[in-house]
């Protein structure tokens, strides 16, 4: 036990004293925030670019009110100029495109005959905006032809807001589902990143010691199983320390950023809204909305989520790291690891896809439940399900299966590790790994 403790301490200290580890620990949060700010800035710059679209309305059905300007698209009526002259002027000028609305015998034929010409392929937002305006106009025109009063249709619209409660009588809201999805997705994504970063770190550490022949001296006084476990736990401790520091730094950065830029961002967004929506938007961004968000967050099973996050975080990491350590012991360099990496990474990737595809839509569905019990996918899928509420018997089954599989895989990986760690000069195959698993002693 004392030898295992020494190995863990050695791996932990070697990791945290590494210059790249120290630099990335403090630089990564700044990079993440910077990337987010850059994306936001580029989106705003893209929105600032105004596209000018001209239209020729031969049908005489549309008016300037039907083509009202938006923040990013301005419309001009070139009907008087004619189709060919307009197309030539647009092609030679700075306009984004020209919309041709021909004259047809019926609205159905007209809807299928409208054309749009542009120098470059238009974006989806531009085409969606044009199609929505045209569909609205043609639908209203058809309703008018049926003798239906459009004003009465507008007055008949009623907005529904369904109140949500659980069976204990506590009020819920649609907002809480968004929060649960966000928390679960972040937890699953962090686990996948943690496994990929620190699992491969364990593998590289084993390869380095094997190629430098230091391992031959170490295994003379330490059992291969102890050495492998020490590397896994030591790297896990360093990784958790790094994640803890990242969390603190991100919280500080986001708090400062929200206090400095928060008010300006709200004002900047609401200033662009129409007058009738401005007051409602300000109220939504005010204290009442924030109070609701805080109340919904406090209703989440925070303590339960934290405990389970740590369990599945460590369980998933140690399960996969044992496989990475076995791969590192079996090969002589990182190039040879590629043939063994794909089978290890596939369950992780599958867990993420299953989580986003099924848990978000139906967290208690049969597929989500199944993959939250399979040990190779449960660390990700179960973390996504936990915010939605999971029964204790499901958690016990999932956690027990994960622990049993972890112990079995460590035992299995140790059999490969103890043989492969002293093998040099031969590129191993799956057949060789199978032989090593059958070795006794």
Residue 131 is part of a domain; what is its CATH number? 3.40.190.10
Same domain, 285 and 434: yes
How many structural domains does the chain have?
2
> 51-65, 74-88, 337-351: which has the minimum mean pLDDT?
337-351
Q: Residue 283: pLDDT above 60?
A: no
Enumerate the β-bridge partners of residue 99: 55, 116
> 115-129, 269-283, 404-418: which has the minimum mean pLDDT?
269-283
What integer is the mean pLDDT of 209-237? 76
Residue 385 has what pLDDT? 86
> Could you give the C-alpha distances from 418 to 156, 219, 328, 412, 438, in angstroms and in order?
76, 9, 12, 10, 12
Domain boundary, last residue among 151, 167, 201: 151
Does the residue 18 lie in any domain? Answer: no
Does the residue 9 lie in any domain? Answer: no
**Residue 335 pLDDT level (bands cut at 50, 70, 90):** confident
Same domain, 87 and 187: no
What's the number of CA atoms in the CB half-sphere (13 Å) around residue 346? 6
Same domain, 270 and 409: yes
Does the residue 71 lie in any domain? Answer: yes
CB 313, CB 305: distance < 8 Å: no
Residue 398 has what pLDDT? 93
Per-range mean pLDDT, top range of 257-266, 334-343, 362-371: 362-371
> pLDDT averaged over the chain?
79
Q: Provide the residue range defining the domain that includes 62.
A: 49-151
- Tell me the backbone φ, ψ of residue 67, rounded to 5 degrees: -115, 65
Q: Residue 125: pLDDT above 90?
A: no
For residue 168, count other CB atoms closer than 10 A to its CB.
5
What's the number of CA atoms in the CB half-sphere (13 Å) around residue 353? 6
The predicted model scores a pTM of 0.66
**Residue 285 pLDDT level (bands cut at 50, 70, 90):** very low
More confident residue, 264 or 107: 107
Residue 215 has what pLDDT? 67
Does the residue 161 lie in any domain? Answer: no
Distance separating alpha carbons of residues 349 and 192, to the nearest angstrom: 8
């Amino acid at each position: 036990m004392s030898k295992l403790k020494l190995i863990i301490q050695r791996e932990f200290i070697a990791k945290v004293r590494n210059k790249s580890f120290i630099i990335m620990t403090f630089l990564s949060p700044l990079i993440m925030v910077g990337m987010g700010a850059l994306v936001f800035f580029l989106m705003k710059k893209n929105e600032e670019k105004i596209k000018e679209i001209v239209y020729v309305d031969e049908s005489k059905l549309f008016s300037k009110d039907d083509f009202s300007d938006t923040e990013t698209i301005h419309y001009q009526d070139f009907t008087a100029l004619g189709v060919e002259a307009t197309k030539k002027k647009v092609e030679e000028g700075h306009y984004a495109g020209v919309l041709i609305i021909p004259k047809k015998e019926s609205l159905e034929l007209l809807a299928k005959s409208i054309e749009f010409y542009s120098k470059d392929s238009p974006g989806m937002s531009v085409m969606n905006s044009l199609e929505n305006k045209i569909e609205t106009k043609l639908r209203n025109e058809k309703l008018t032809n049926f003798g239906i009063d459009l004003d009465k249709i507008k007055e008949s619209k009623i907005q529904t807001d369904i109140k949500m409660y659980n069976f204990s009588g506590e009020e819920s809201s649609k907002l809480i589902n968004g929060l649960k999805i966000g928390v679960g997705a972040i937890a699953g994504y962090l686990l996948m990143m943690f496994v990929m970063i620190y699992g491969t770190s364990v593998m590289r550490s084993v390869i380095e010691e094997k190629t430098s022949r230091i391992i031959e001296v170490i295994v003379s006084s330490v059992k291969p199983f102890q050495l492998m476990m020490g590397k896994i736990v030591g790297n896990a401790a360093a990784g958790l320390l790094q994640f803890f520091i990242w969390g603190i730094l991100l919280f500080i950065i986001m708090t400062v950023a929200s206090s400095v830029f928060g008010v300006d961002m709200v004002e900047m967004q609401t200033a662009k809204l129409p007058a009738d929506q401005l007051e409602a938007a300000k109220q939504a961004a005010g204290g009442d909305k924030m109070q609701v968000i805080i109340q919904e967050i406090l209703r989440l099973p925070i303590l339960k989520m934290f405990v389970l996050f740590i369990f599945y975080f460590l369980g998933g990491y140690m399960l996969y790291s044992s496989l990475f350590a076995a791969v590192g012991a079996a090969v002589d360099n990182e190039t040879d690891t590629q043939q063994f990496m794909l089978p290890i990474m596939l369950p992780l990737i599958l867990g993420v896809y299953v989580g986003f595809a099924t848990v978000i839509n139906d967290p208690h569905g049969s597929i989500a439940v199944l993959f939250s019990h399979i040990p190779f996918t449960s660390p990700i899928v179960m973390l996504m399900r936990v915010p939605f509420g999971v029964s204790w018997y499901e958690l016990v089954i999932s956690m027990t299966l994960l622990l049993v599989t972890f112990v079995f895989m460590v035992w299995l990986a140790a059999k490969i590790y103890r043989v492969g760690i002293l093998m040099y000069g031969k590129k191993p195959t799956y057949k060789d790994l199978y032989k090593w698993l059958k070795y006794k002693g």
